[in-house]
């Protein structure tokens, strides 16, 4: 049985947000210190669009060797939007571990499949289904 090496990492990014002072003053006229506190609150609440970002570092957290069955469970857990893929497609995806191999895999996949749900569409669909389920349970 094929084995796979998994490597888990954490990437650190520096994000920057820029908010016009007059917009913050309109919300609540105050001192510079209070403006900065208010700006931090807006950013924390994810109400400000990102101005820029810079990748700082990627740190390796751990590595392990898993068998193919474990890898198939992992792909479903980490990428739930791929659950509809066949086992063959999932294995092909895992074996396409470089950009070049992935481009070849994507071309093969596109040729045999007319539609693959995009991750963003998957998230929207799941949110809608959850909301509808919640409404039915009220």
Write out pLDDT tens, residues 72-90.
Answer: 999 999 999 888 899 998 9
What's the pLDDT tens digit per position in 20-42? 999 888 877 788 899 999 999 99
Query: What is the structure's pLDDT at 48?
Result: 95
Which sequence spans correspond to the domains of the chain? Answer: 1-67, 79-138
**pLDDT tens for residues 122-131?**
888 888 999 9
Which is it for the CA torsion 81, 86, 91, 92, positive or negative? negative
135: region left, alpha or beta (phi > 0 left; psi from -120 to 50 alpha): alpha
């Amino acid at each position: 049985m094929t084995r796979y090496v998994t490597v888990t990492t954490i990437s650190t990014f520096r994000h920057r947000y820029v908010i016009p002072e007059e917009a913050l003053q309109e919300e609540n006229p105050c001192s510079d210190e209070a403006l900065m506190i208010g700006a931090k609150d807006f950013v924390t609440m994810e109400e400000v669009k990102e101005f820029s970002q810079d990748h700082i570092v990627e740190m390796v957290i751990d590595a392990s060797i898993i068998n193919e069955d474990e890898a198939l469970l992992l792909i479903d857990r980490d990428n739930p939007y791929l659950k509809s893929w066949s086992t063959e497609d999932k294995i092909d995806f895992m074996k396409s571990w470089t950009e070049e191999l992935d481009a070849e895999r994507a071309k093969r996949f596109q040729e045999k499949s007319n539609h693959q749900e995009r991750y963003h569409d998957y998230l929207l669909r799941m949110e809608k289904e959850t909301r509808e389920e919640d409404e039915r349970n009220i």
